Amino acid sequence: MNAKHVLVTGASGFIGQPLVRALVRSGYAVRAATRGTKSISSSVDVALVPDFTQPVDWEPILRGIDIVIHLAGHAHADLPDRDYSIFNRVNFMATRELACTAARAGVERFLYISSVRAQCGASAKGLLTELDEPQPTDNYGRSKLAAELALRAAGVPFTILRPVVVYGPGVKGNLKTVVRLSLSPLPLPFGGLQNRRSLLGIDNLVSALLFVLNKPEALGQTYLVADTEPVTIPQLFTMLRQAQGRPPKIFYVPPTLLHLLLMMSNRTQLWSRLAHGLVVDTTRLRSIGWHPPFETSDGFHSMFSRDENK
């Protein structure tokens, strides 16, 4: 059987690099849409594209392509929230242009990697499902939701994944701050924080991406993606430090006092990440047969071991 040809945008990024390697191992013929070739394997066809702040001529890049996996975009940690025009151009308009061209080219499937932030803010009350009305709270989330709607209107067969925060080698964004805290030799005062958060290991995300590519029932669907179980903040730091071969060293400070201390040190964003929960229900994706192959603790061990081997 001839290999399917897959175009991956953002192929040199945090998610793109392990995804491209997994696609090649699985027998796909990969074309990487990227601004540089530094981290791209010689076995991969490369299509150089400009910054998405400018329109891209996708027609020649899509010739011969069966599947598009669209990863590229600006994350909420990349830019201040006030930069709406850039989020709008890169996340929404570029996705719309690519999706419409893919529809005209007869692409079999367009897999869009959106974000849980298209559905909610940095935290959410209760268990979040795909049936909940999307209520993004910042320009990043609004631009991702607009891109989802544009994809639905483009007329190309699609699947949308909404991952929660992703961890792995080279982790970025807010979770990078949490990992740095775990590297500190000092005891951490987070024992009183019992809110839970869903996380997603990079290997589990790649597994979900490969899974939906081969599922007809995933066409036209949107799925939240996360590891099997959410974790409390003490559990998170315990697993991070155990993955480093170190004792947890977590002690109890009343949350109200911790809040005050972080406010006084101008760490309000850190407090909002640590003190509030965000738990998603992945029943819809699991109902068609996907299960995360790795536990969160295994993912953290893999993350540190791969960082050390670089």
Instruction: Give the residue extent of every domain in the chain.
Output: 5-167+199-226+280-293
Alpha-carbon span 292 to 232, nearest angstrom: 19
Per-residue pLDDT at 37: 66
Share of the chain above pLDDT 90, in %: 76
Cβ neighbours of residue 137 closer than 8 Å, sequence gap 6 or more: 120, 121, 122
Per-residue pLDDT at 47: 92
State the CB neighbour count (10 A cutoff) for residue 143. 27
CATH number of 5-167+199-226+280-293: 3.40.50.720
The ranges of the chain with pLDDT < 70 are 1-2, 37-38, 77-79, 307-310
Per-residue pLDDT at 1: 46
Output the pTM of the full model.
Answer: 0.94
Whether the Cβ atoms of residue 200 and residue 165 lie closer than 8 Å to each other = yes
Per-residue pLDDT at 134: 96
Q: Between the CA atoms of 40, 42, 43 and 49, what dihedral angle is there, to the nearest 10 degrees?
A: 50
Ordered DSSP codes for 221-242: EEEEE--SS-EEHHHHHHHHHH
The dihedrals phi and psi of 93, each to the nearest 5 degrees, come to: -65, -40
For the chain, what is the total number of helices (H) and then of strands (E)? 12, 13
Alpha-carbon span 232 to 283, nearest angstrom: 20
What single letter denotes the amino acid at residue 34? T
Place of tokens 């394997």: 41
Q: Nearest Cα to 69, choosing from 145, 16, 22? A: 16
Alpha-carbon span 132 to 134, nearest angstrom: 6
Whether the Cβ atoms of residue 19 and residue 206 lie closer than 8 Å to each other = yes
Assigned token pair, 277 = 């929960």
Rg (CA), the chain: 20
Per-residue pLDDT at 136: 95
